Amino acid sequence: MAVNLKPPDPAELLPVDGVELGFAEAGIRRRGGRDLMLMRLAPGSRVAGVFTRNSFAAAPVQVCRRRLAAQRPVRALITNAGNANCGTGEAGVRAAERTCEAVARAIGCAAAEVLPFSTGVILEDLPVERIEAALPRCVATLAAANWADAAAAIMTTDTVPKAASRAGTVGGRRVGATGIAKGVGMLQPDMATMLAYVATDARISQPALERLVRETADASFNRVTIDGDTSTNDSFVLIATGRADAPEIADAATPAYGELKAAIVEVSRQLAQSIARDGEGATKFITVQVAGAASEPEAVRVAKAIAHSPLVKTAFFASDPNLGRLLMAIGNAGIPDLDVSRVDLWLGEVKVIERGGRAASYREEDGARAMRPAEIIVRVALGRGSTETTVWTCDFSYDYVKINAEYRT
């Protein structure tokens, strides 16, 4: 059901020098298949991450935060699908640590140099012994060309593996960036989602990398939403192996930072959009553009008010140009002094709302035509300022209910 989303072509995913990926079936995910993924990083790699703001941050998220804060080198990332290791208390933290210890033994590094990630059902104990048993197979498959297989091994209810890759230049020298992600529901604001790993061979200082991961998240994963829910396990990790033949990027003020950021944001946006395209039950991919806002937070609030409204999302599913629901959603964004008589709105190229009311030129058949495609752009002009933003989402179908009602059965 994913909207215009194809599995990645392994040949189009650039290997990143210093990153190897392995996978195995550990028997954690109920429906079977590969559910364990290991990334091994070359010495000298730098890593930065942003994580869920949910108060019930899962055990692996707690461990990742602690290890990244300690500024130890990172040599491996281990991810399991099928069990989130969340709401599992101290025992869950210990299980995540045991997973890291097993990886450390398998590849020869310190346990503190391994980051753990989990996704799947919540409040069930992580079967660490299955991970331990599958790890040798995972290590045996480690290879730089395995991005597509790695993307498949971290899926839960995803229907399509998600990967993206770009070549760019930094200071005239070629660098590459490749990433994978998983996630189709329980997605939302501020760490919309899921697990996402983007690696580059560029060289960049740790402070600049930490800035880059936040700025990239705000331009990509924090701009996608499926159902307004935020997972307990959301993680986005940026890896820079530094093996490219390009000068080190010292800080964000340099032109080189901007060059690298362009490539990283492009990869991350494509991954973020893939998540909306594969949103649970999605039949349409919706881009919400808000312009004329007084500030970025205001633009985001309006865009997400539209993207979150179940009434708007069911209207998209039905291809019904129910303009009233769009108006209602904008009105619910909580912009205190919004002058509705300055609000314009377009569905695709059709202007439907003009100065807060139905556009004089609007005809229902034009609206119906604009709602028909599988990809729809909603543009809102608020008439308050010059800030713009874009949020991606999907429609809300029978299958969303079906998938979520039957998730554990």
| Nearest-angstrom CA–CA distance, 114 and 135 | 14
As given in the structure block, the two tokens for residue 35 are 């559910």
Distance of alpha carbon 332 from its chain centroid, rounded? 26
Q: Tokens 């969340």 correspond to what residue?
A: 86
Radius of gyration of the chain (CA): 22
Closer to a second copy by CB, 12 or 320: give it.
320
Whose Cβ is closer to a second copy: residue 19's or residue 184's? 184
Q: How far apart are CA 280 and CA 402, in angstroms?
A: 9
Residue placing its CB nearer to a second copy in the complex, 14 or 192: 192
**Residue 45 or 397 with smaller CB distance to a second copy:** 397
Instruction: Give the Cα separation of 87 and 79 in Å (integer).
Output: 18
Q: Of 23 and 51, which has the nearer Cβ to a second copy?
A: 51
C-beta of 292: minimal distance to a second copy in Å? 15
Query: Taking the complex as a whole, how short is the minimal distance between the CB of residue 52 and a second copy, in angstroms?
Result: 8
> In 279-383, which residue ranges form alpha helices assigned H by DSSP?
296-308, 310-317, 323-331, 364-371
Closest CB to a second copy among residues 234, 266: 234
Catalytic residue numbers, as ranges: 193
The tokens for 349 are 């190229």
CB of 376 to a second copy, least distance (A): 15
What torsion, rounded to 10 degrees, do the Cα atoms 241, 128, 56, 240 define? 0
Angstrom distance (rounded) from CA 394 to CA 314: 10
Beta-carbon neighbour count of residue 405 at 10 Å?
Answer: 9
Q: Which residues bind a second copy (CB under 8 A)?
A: 53-57, 84, 86-89, 92, 121-124, 185-186, 188, 227-232, 308-311, 314-315, 317-318, 320, 322-325, 327-335, 338, 340-341, 353, 355-358, 396-398, 400-402, 404-409
For residue 194, the minimal CB distance to a second copy (Å) is 13
Cβ proximity to a second copy, 30 vs 53, nearer residue: 53
- Residue 37 has which token pair? 């993924």
Positions of E strands within 192-298:
195-200, 235-240, 285-293
**142 within 8 A of 20, measured Cβ to Cβ:** yes
In the complex, the smallest distance separating the C-beta of residue 307 from a second copy, rounded to whole angstroms, is 12
CB of 309 to a second copy, least distance (A): 5
- Residue 352, SS3 per DSSP: strand
As measured in angstroms, the least distance from the Cβ of 244 to a second copy is 39
Bridge pairing between strands 195-200 and 235-240: parallel
Q: At what angle do helices 255-277 and 206-219 cross, to 10 degrees?
A: 40
Contacts 24+ apart (CB under 8 A), 29-33: 29/81, 29/82, 29/120, 29/156, 30/82, 33/152
